[in-house]
Structure 1
Amino acid sequence: MMFSHEGFLRSLAQNLTGLEKLHLSHIDISSSIPDTLANLSHLKSLALLDCHLSGKLPFSLSNLRHLFYLGLPRNNISDQIPPSFGNLSQLTTLVLALNQLSGPIPPSFGNLTQLTELSLGSNNFNSSIPPSLFNLVNLRLLNLMDNNWSGTIEFHKFLKLQNLTDLRLSGNKPEVLMGSTSMNNATIVVPKFERLVLRGCNISEFPDFLRSQDSLLVLDLSGNGLHGRVPKWMWNMSTQTLKYLIIPHNFLSGFDRPPSTIPWVNLEFLELASNSLVGEIPPLFCNVSTLSSVGLSDNKLSGVLPQCLGNTNNDLQYLFLGNNNLSGKVSPQICNLTKLSYLDLSSNKLSGMLPQCLGPGLEYLNLANNTFHGILPKRFTTASCDLSMIDVSHNKLQGQLPRSLVNCASLEFLVLSNNQFDDVFPLWLGPLQKLKILAMRHNGFYGVIGQPKKNRHFPELRILDLSYNNFRGKFPAEYIFSGNAIRGITSEQGSYDSYDHYLQCSISITNKGIEIYYPKIQDDLVVIHLSNNKFEGNIPQFIGKLKGLRLLNISNNSFTGCIPLSFGDLTVLESLDLSHNQLSGEIPQQLSQLSFLEKFNVSHNNLTGRIPGGTQLSTFDVTSFEGNPRLCGDPLPKKCENPEGINLPPSTTNPKGSGIEVDWKFALAGLGSGLVVGVVLADVVITRWDEWFIEIVDMLIRLVKRMRRFRNE
């Protein structure tokens, strides 16, 4: 919903002065909070969620003395909280999370003694937590996570808040000092927590006070310095209530005296990824029928997959076991997990053939970096294919691609690289409306990529990697990239190697001379990689229209003709590799204006003329240009020389699009020594015979005759 003017709140405050409740969410007001809201003197509840509000919190809001609920989350409100907010003595709920607030929390907040919920998370507060907050004895929820608090946080102070059930401190820089929180001290009464989030708080040991917790629903200790084994007393904590146990990104090696079954009878989410867990996966994970997600990726687990996985875990939806040392085969019993949606077995030592029952119900399938062989499962049927991501790269899979993949209407990422597939280009995937990545490098794909009888255009394709195959003929760029997805992208420069979560698709691409691993694919990363095939003919002019293109590699093919002048329009291009082809003509001057170009290689072609000057191309060394005998200028040792006394026009391309480019400097280079016209014509780059070329020949003949006559005189 969009309001047409910024004065919406102002006019509302002027006309509805008796209003007691104002709740707006997910609308685009795009203005600051007007002072006139103070006119709503009877207002008891004000909530403006995700309304694109900006500017400061107005002091006038502190005049709303009847207000008991104030919620302004998910906006862009900045600057400091006015100290006068401490006058809102009737407030029971104050939610300012997910804004840009900074500075200290006003000490006057200690006056808000009726508060039961205070949420200030995900802002830019940069001072210490004021002691006055620990006077808010009625607090049930306190969210201070993801800020820039300074100093240390003494955890025992939170224990004074006896009604506190939800405490969130994660993502802060200072160390949380657990101090003397031992339950052996009878003077300490610890609150009965239901949600405890202490992520990234520099905690090195499991807090001892957890022993007494019997009501926890959520325990998040991720990103700390926990090491060694999970203590045995943890198994007795909140056995009837715990649903989420989240301890990834620590240094845990295992479990101290694990029981035969997990004692948390209602556990739904178990996350232990990115630790140092060793040994086999204990079978106790199989015996909790309530588990919906198990995350054990990025550890040092070994052995085979537990055979019991498919026996009792019928509610399991997410299974992440990637980047371990698991071996053996994948049992068909895994298909008994009928609710399984996300399966990650990547980067292990698994082998054998894939169970042909895999497919129905899955949305995310990552089997990369193993030694699976055989064919892909064919059970991707119309009725049940929900797959959005398939990555089977770096295995030994063979044969043809299952044509039933065309039924996966939600498919966005298809990564088949580094296998032994033997098939033609999958034109039949063209109708998939969401396909963004098609990576097929290092396989045995072959043949000419034609155009199908029906109009199928890969409308959302952003990354195409066909390198190291046996494709031949012309590359039909205009067909494959005819959609508006790439042409319409307006890209911001940014990093592509940030780690988010393993639900993201990842891919390896040879970029800037080395193989780059992209663990997270952003929408504005656009790549065409065709190297080491047998493509021929001219480089498609259409590629110059793909405004979002970041990487273009067509090296080690048989492309001929000139470098398209339209490449100068690829303003966000970072890597251009045209090496080891049969390209001719000059390097277009326009390429020197590509300010983001970091990798450039046109070596080993038949290019002629002077290397364009300019800021960008002058930064590349001789290896980017070598192997072109008639190319001259820096950084090559060969210098460019013009015949003395002759004014040479620039290289000329037929304006009518004939594709003919004449290099005048080389065409006239032999005139002074009386070379015949046939030698002169040898330096004219010809891509098509037509009337325009005949006119050029006639002009050259007349020029040669005049110069010879001049010399004889």
Structure 2
Amino acid sequence: MSTESLKYFNLGRNLLSGFEQLPDVLPWVNLRFLSLSSNMFHGPLPIPAASTLGYEVQDNNFAGEVPPGICNLSSLLALDMSNNNFSGMIPQCFGNFSDHLTLLLLGNNSFHGTLPQTYTNKSNLRMLDVSQNQLQGQLPRSLANCLMLETLILSNNNLSDVFPIWLGTLPELKLLAMRHNGFHGVIGKPKNNQRFPKLRLLDMSYNNFTGQFLAEYIFSEYAMRPNVTVSQTTYIDADISYESGNGVITLSYGSTITITSKGVDRYYSKIQEAFAVIDISSNKFEGKIDDWIGNLKGLISLNISNNLLTGGIPSFLGNLTQLESLDLSNNKLSGEIPQQLAQLTFLAKFNVSHNNLTGPIPSGSQLRGFNVTSYEGNSGLCGDPLPKKCGNSDTPAQLPPSGTEDSSSGFGIEFDWKFVLSGFGSGLVVGVVLADVAITRRPVMFLEIVGTLIRLMGRIRRWKRSGRFI
């Protein structure tokens, strides 16, 4: 093929392992788009012509440092180098590219060092994914210049910084994933109450955040409303057009992410704009569950597990009727499970295990249909699916007053037959008196009285038989 006429070249999704004679710079001088993705290419990264607008090499075995010649591609709109074996530092020129670059995907490699430091206020960057590398240091504050940024994925690195509340100035940011890093500290109040205006997916799990999680500092009630998009088929993506020999070809690049949903890590190759997730699990957050969460009516998944949260489970969670997954496990929550949670008819995953919860599991709802593991580690809980029952199955059991013995430890059966026996032996009046004692006194005291009366009745019967009782 002519090295001057070829503009669009797609070799993706084959079993190719390399070029017969691979030059350092590929020969097609007017190339607009080149895809080598999903093959078995290996060795150093080949550099296409400076005219290239889109370059895809993801899902191969390319290795080594990125050649300096990549910085000649100053007109790039899309660069996808994810899922390879690249090492070394991310070229600083990638930050300078942001005036044109729309898509930069570098995830799942072995890059180390810091992120590029320079992003200008002319940036056109919409997606940045550097997850699953070995990056360190703080986030460059110049990211706040990327006013078109919609997706920022930083997960699974060694980044160390406070929560980037300053990213709340980004008007288009919808997805922020920063799980498995060294982010730390208390989330402070933003200046001028500037919340993230469009953020719908936040994953900050497995970090070292402390203090109280105040959702009102981060989320806009407007952005988290239900059915925020026109249809459920709208995705977080970016369309980029390339010139080819037969006209213009438009390719759509979607955000991909792995998040914990419904209790397991799930890989999403596409993310609907209507998808609303908060995952703050495995940190050191403390205090009560923030009331502001009750305003985020579009939430589909809420995971606050493995923290130090105290207080009760708030009833306002029952207003989040879109919830499909709710994980409150491994905290220090106390009190009863609110009956309002029975309104969450879409729940497919529910976990409150390993807290200090008490009382009955709400009856007449799907909450009783979850596995026993959803409730284990709460010695005060009772009712299906737990083996510990609550007494009268038709009404919620009343907990014993503080400092008294637990009446559900086997006394229930003894109470029933001894009550009948005592009533039978001593007449209606004694039975009524004993019923009052049973209700208003401790069960142990009642059993002692019953035992005394039974022994007394036995003596009376023996006296009658001996003729000494008149």
Tell me how far 1:494 sits from its aligned partner: 8.0
Structure 2 match to 1:487: 225
Cα distance between partner residues in 2 of 1:483 and 1:396: 35
Tell me how far 1:355 sits from its aligned partner: 1.1
Structure 2 match to 1:287: 27
SS of 1:555's equivalent in the other structure is coil
Structure 1 match to 2:72: 336
Structure 2 match to 1:376: 115
Contact 2:214 2:292 in 1 (8 A): no
SS of 1:460's equivalent in the other structure is coil
| Structure 2 residue 139 is matched with structure 1 residue 401 | yes
1:667 to 401, 405, 417: 401
Question: Structure 1, residues 211-236: CA drift from partner, whole Å, max 9, x if none?
Answer: xxxxxxxxxxxxxxxxxxxxxxxxxx
1:625 to 350, 363, 375: 375
Residue identity matched to 1:362: L
Cα distance between partner residues in 2 of 1:366 and 1:293: 16
Following superposition of structure 1 onto structure 2, how do residues 98-247 of structure 1 map, counting pairs within 5 Å?
A: none
SS of 2:143's equivalent in the other structure is helix
Tell me how far 1:541 sits from its aligned partner: 1.9
| Structure 2 residue 113 is matched with structure 1 residue 363 | no
Tell me how far 1:672 sits from its aligned partner: 10
1:388 to 91, 110, 126: 126
Q: Root-mean-square deviation (CA), in Å?
A: 3.0
Cα distance between partner residues in 2 of 1:495 and 1:488: 14
Cα distance between partner residues in 2 of 1:494 and 1:620: 30
Following superposition of structure 1 onto structure 2, how do residues 550-699 of structure 1 map, counting pairs within 5 Å?
A: 550-641=300-391, 664-667=398-401, 670=404
Structure 1 match to 2:82: 346
Tell me how far 1:574 sits from its aligned partner: 1.1
Tell me how far 1:582 sits from its aligned partner: 0.5
Structure 1 match to 2:171: 433
Tell me how far 1:564 sits from its aligned partner: 1.5
Cα distance between partner residues in 2 of 1:557 and 1:578: 9
Question: Structure 1, residues 301-353: CA drift from partner, whole Å, max 9, x if none?
Answer: 111112x43xxx12111111101111011123211111011110000000001
| Structure 2 residue 25 is matched with structure 1 residue 273 | no
Tell me how far 1:546 sits from its aligned partner: 1.4
1:316 to 52, 55, 61: 52
Residues 493 and 605 of structure 1, relative CA distance in 2, 3 Å threshold: farther
Cα distance between partner residues in 1 of 2:314 and 2:306: 18
Tell me how far 1:472 sits from its aligned partner: 0.5
Cα distance between partner residues in 2 of 1:672 and 1:591: 27
Tell me how far 1:291 sits from its aligned partner: 0.9
Structure 2 match to 1:142: none
Contact 1:526 1:551 in 2 (8 A): yes
Cα distance between partner residues in 1 of 2:234 and 2:401: 46
Question: Structure 1, residues 159-203: CA drift from partner, whole Å, max 9, x if none?
Answer: xxxxxxxxxxxxxxxxxxxxxxxxxxxxxxxxxxxxxxxxxxxxx
SS of 2:192's equivalent in the other structure is coil
Tell me how far 1:590 sits from its aligned partner: 2.2
Worse-matched range after superposition: 599-608 or 583-592: 583-592
Question: Structure 1, residues 116-139: CA drift from partner, whole Å, max 9, x if none?
Answer: xxxxxxxxxxxxxxxxxxxxxxxx
Cα distance between partner residues in 2 of 1:430 and 1:495: 23
Residues 280 and 579 of structure 1, relative CA distance in 2, 3 Å threshold: farther
SS of 1:591's equivalent in the other structure is helix
Tell me how far 1:489 sits from its aligned partner: 2.9
Residue identity matched to 2:55: L
Residue identity matched to 1:345: M
Question: Structure 1, residues 622-664: CA drift from partner, whole Å, max 9, x if none?
Answer: 1000000000011111111269xxx98x7xxxxxxxxxxxx95
Contact 1:531 1:553 in 2 (8 A): yes
SS of 1:316's equivalent in the other structure is coil
Structure 2 spans left out of the alignment, 5+ residues: 240-250, 408-435, 450-470
Contact 2:236 2:254 in 1 (8 A): no
Structure 1 match to 2:417: none
Structure 1 spans left out of the alignment, 5+ residues: 1-261, 651-662, 674-702
Question: Structure 1, residues 389-414: CA drift from partner, whole Å, max 9, x if none?
Answer: 10000000000000000000001100
Contact 1:622 1:635 in 2 (8 A): yes
Residue identity matched to 1:367: L
2:45 to 302, 305, 328: 305
| Structure 2 residue 179 is matched with structure 1 residue 446 | no
Residues 496 and 337 of structure 1, relative CA distance in 2, 3 Å threshold: closer
1:514 to 247, 255, 264: 264
Contact 1:351 1:372 in 2 (8 A): yes
Cα distance between partner residues in 2 of 1:389 and 1:618: 42
Cα distance between partner residues in 2 of 1:399 and 1:284: 32
Tell me how far 1:434 sits from its aligned partner: 0.3
Cα distance between partner residues in 1 of 2:185 and 2:73: 40
Aligned length: 399
Contact 2:334 2:356 in 1 (8 A): yes
| Structure 2 residue 206 is matched with structure 1 residue 468 | yes
Instruction: Return the TM-score normalized by structure 2.
Output: 0.78
Residue identity matched to 1:707: T
Residues 669 and 495 of structure 1, relative CA distance in 2, 3 Å threshold: farther
Cα distance between partner residues in 1 of 2:391 and 2:33: 70
Residue identity matched to 2:171: Q
Structure 2 match to 1:187: none
Following superposition of structure 1 onto structure 2, how do residues 64-83 of structure 1 map, counting pairs within 5 Å?
A: none
Residues 612 and 496 of structure 1, relative CA distance in 2, 3 Å threshold: farther
Tell me how far 1:370 sits from its aligned partner: 0.1
Tell me how far 1:670 sits from its aligned partner: 4.2
Contact 1:280 1:303 in 2 (8 A): no
Identity of aligned residues (%): 54
Structure 2 match to 1:457: 195
Structure 1 match to 2:440: 707
Contact 1:463 1:528 in 2 (8 A): yes
Residue identity matched to 1:519: S
Residue identity matched to 2:190: P
SS of 2:202's equivalent in the other structure is strand
Residue identity matched to 2:370: F
Tell me how far 1:497 sits from its aligned partner: 13
Contact 2:190 2:217 in 1 (8 A): no
Question: Structure 1, residues 93-145: CA drift from partner, whole Å, max 9, x if none?
Answer: xxxxxxxxxxxxxxxxxxxxxxxxxxxxxxxxxxxxxxxxxxxxxxxxxxxxx
Instruction: Return the TM-score normalized by structure 1.
Output: 0.53
Tell me how far 1:263 sits from its aligned partner: 2.1
SS of 1:441's equivalent in the other structure is coil
Contact 1:497 1:518 in 2 (8 A): no
Contact 1:475 1:540 in 2 (8 A): yes
Structure 1 match to 2:278: 528
Residues 672 and 275 of structure 1, relative CA distance in 2, 3 Å threshold: closer
Tell me how far 1:667 sits from its aligned partner: 3.3
Contact 1:460 1:483 in 2 (8 A): no
Residues 589 and 315 of structure 1, relative CA distance in 2, 3 Å threshold: same
Contact 1:458 1:483 in 2 (8 A): no
Contact 2:221 2:296 in 1 (8 A): no
Tell me how far 1:266 sits from its aligned partner: 2.1
Cα distance between partner residues in 1 of 2:301 and 2:40: 35
Contact 2:236 2:273 in 1 (8 A): no
Cα distance between partner residues in 2 of 1:531 and 1:414: 19
Tell me how far 1:284 sits from its aligned partner: 9.2
